[in-house]
Amino acid sequence: MKKDETKIKIPGFRFSGVIAGIKQAKKPDVALIVADRPAKATAVFTTNRLKAAPVLQGQKAIRGGKLRAIVVNSGNANAATGPKGLKNAFATAAAAAQALKISKSEVLVSSTGKIGIQLDVGKIRRALPAAVQGLSAGNFTAAARAIMTTDAFPKWHVVRGKIGGKPFTVAGFGKGAGMIEPHMATMLAYIFTDLDLPVAAMRKAFRSAVDATFNAISVDGDTSTNDTAVLLASGASGIPPLKPGTAPWRAFEKALHEVCQYLAWMMVQDGEGATKIVEVQVRGAKTARSAKKIAYSIARSPLVKTSFFGQDPNWGRVFAAVGYSGETFAPSRVDIFYGPVPLVRRGLPTPVANEARAHKVMKNKSFRVLVELNGGRGESKVWTSDLGYGYVKINAEYRT
């Protein structure tokens, strides 16, 4: 941990990251997050019908709208582990509650790592004293590191602002969006603020931020069994409770969106051998929902993604992906741009010289593909990675 990392502090929260021995390599694999007082809490979980045990525990824990602690273990996803796995998730919460002398109903548990293997709760239990001992406001990034699995780098983002002259913070950390070795990995994100927020409005704002960010990234279109995003508000800033619809509320929403957005981008960037991050923007659809469906149809297409890897302005694949999205549009109105370069205008290709210009755009590590349907006001943005040899290498290797 670099020295300036300890400066990332969110009043009302303490963190630690310790080695419990769940990962085979001796690396931090348990993160503990504690709120000094019960924090307002809301969470969004995976829509996969195969929900891991910690997701079922988390869904129950979040119901009260308040949390005191979060325990995250990496190395074992506690997924496809049946009734015993569920018992283990609740046992983990109980062990943390005991160590922290709080109610077990105020503890949320997350897991990420291998699936189909029972979690050794004893290892977590034995690591908890050190985790409690290590709790510190400056250990934010230590916790961020303890939730990593095959992530190439830790992911966090901090936004600071002022309301009525008083400072506030919204900060979060997260891990990998893709489903990786050995069975699959998970998107986890934990966002913290010292603002005082009404829980219903906070839930709504979080859902909206998650939809526009974590739910707008596509590495391979697969949804994990463990995906979890949690927002905690301590109220420790001393700023009076925020009211939805006011300017301070909008400042909070903006900061929340930014934190989620940066974490989501980092997840795409770290996505399974990716070399590029591409923004797929769809405009002029009948509705925003329709625009998002079309954007995902493009962002998930293996043919589109391999063409990004090959820096090939293969607009035909993009156009075809719009076509098979199942959404209604007029082909003769479609414009397609790569960066600023128009490749399709009103459904027809532009002069072929533009392809060389678009090829240059695609040499960048990051660029935008814009599909303008000219058929309505629906808009959506989705971020995706390319699909190259690195993806195959990471995902095709036989686990030994």
DSSP classification of residue 58 = H
Can you tell me which of 135, 288, 320, 361 binds its own copies, judged by CB under 8 A? 320
Can you tell me which of 2, 164, 165, 332 binds its own copies, judged by CB under 8 A? 332
Whole-angstrom Cα distance, residue 122 to residue 250? 44
**CB-based contacts of 260: which residues, under 8 Å, 6+ apart?**
172, 189, 191, 209, 210, 212, 213, 214, 229
Whole-angstrom Cα distance, residue 194 to residue 192? 7
Catalytic residue among 141, 186, 213, 225: 186
If the CB atoms of residues 301 and 380 are measured against its own copies, the closer one turns out to be: 301
The three-state secondary structure class of 248 is: helix
If the CB atoms of residues 179 and 232 are measured against its own copies, the closer one turns out to be: 179
Can you tell me which of 184, 229, 259, 277 binds its own copies, judged by CB under 8 A? 184
Q: Extract the tokens encoding 145.
A: 């590191």
Q: CB of 197: closest distance to its own copies in angstroms?
A: 31
Q: CB of 398: closest distance to its own copies in angstroms?
A: 5
If the CB atoms of residues 214 and 252 are measured against its own copies, the closer one turns out to be: 214
Q: Which of residues 152-181 bind its own copies (CB under 8 A)?
A: 179
Asked if 62 contacts 41 with a C-beta cutoff of 8 angstroms, the reply is yes
Amino acid at 154: P
Instruction: Please report whether residue 309 would count as binding its own copies according to CB under 8 A.
Output: yes
Instruction: Please report whether residue 244 would count as binding its own copies according to CB under 8 A.
Output: no
Of 4-12, 93-101, 233-241, 322-330, the window that binds its own copies (rule: CB under 8 A) is: 322-330
The three-state secondary structure class of 382 is: strand
* C-alpha distance across the termini of the chain, in Å: 32
Q: Extract the tokens encoding 74.
A: 């990496």
Instruction: Please report whether residue 349 would count as binding its own copies according to CB under 8 A.
Output: yes
Whole-angstrom Cα distance, residue 238 to residue 256? 19
If the CB atoms of residues 193 and 384 are measured against its own copies, the closer one turns out to be: 384
Asked if 18 contacts 181 with a C-beta cutoff of 8 angstroms, the reply is no
Can you tell me which of 64, 348, 365, 366 binds its own copies, judged by CB under 8 A? 348
Instruction: Please report whether residue 200 would count as binding its own copies according to CB under 8 A.
Output: no
Instruction: Please report whether residue 327 would count as binding its own copies according to CB under 8 A.
Output: yes
Instruction: Please report whether residue 339 would count as binding its own copies according to CB under 8 A.
Output: no
If the CB atoms of residues 224 and 237 are measured against its own copies, the closer one turns out to be: 224
Asked if 156 contacts 171 with a C-beta cutoff of 8 angstroms, the reply is yes
Q: CB of 343: closest distance to its own copies in angstroms?
A: 9
Instruction: Please report whether residue 395 would count as binding its own copies according to CB under 8 A.
Output: yes
- Beta-bridged to residue 65, according to DSSP, are none
* Strand pairing report for 277-285 and 366-372: parallel
Instruction: Please report whether residue 307 would count as binding its own copies according to CB under 8 A.
Output: yes
Q: CB of 182: closest distance to its own copies in angstroms?
A: 8
CB atoms within 10 A of CB 319: 18
Helix axes 53-61, 82-100, angle to 10 degrees: 50
Can you tell me which of 1, 19, 48, 136 binds its own copies, judged by CB under 8 A? 48
Whether 81 is catalytic? no
- Phi first, then psi: what are they for 179, rounded to 5°? -105, 115
Residues known to be catalytic: 186
Binding site for its own copies (CB under 8 A): 47-51, 79-82, 115-117, 179, 182-184, 220-225, 301-303, 306-307, 309-312, 314-317, 319-325, 327-329, 331-332, 344, 346-349, 359, 387-389, 391-392, 395-399
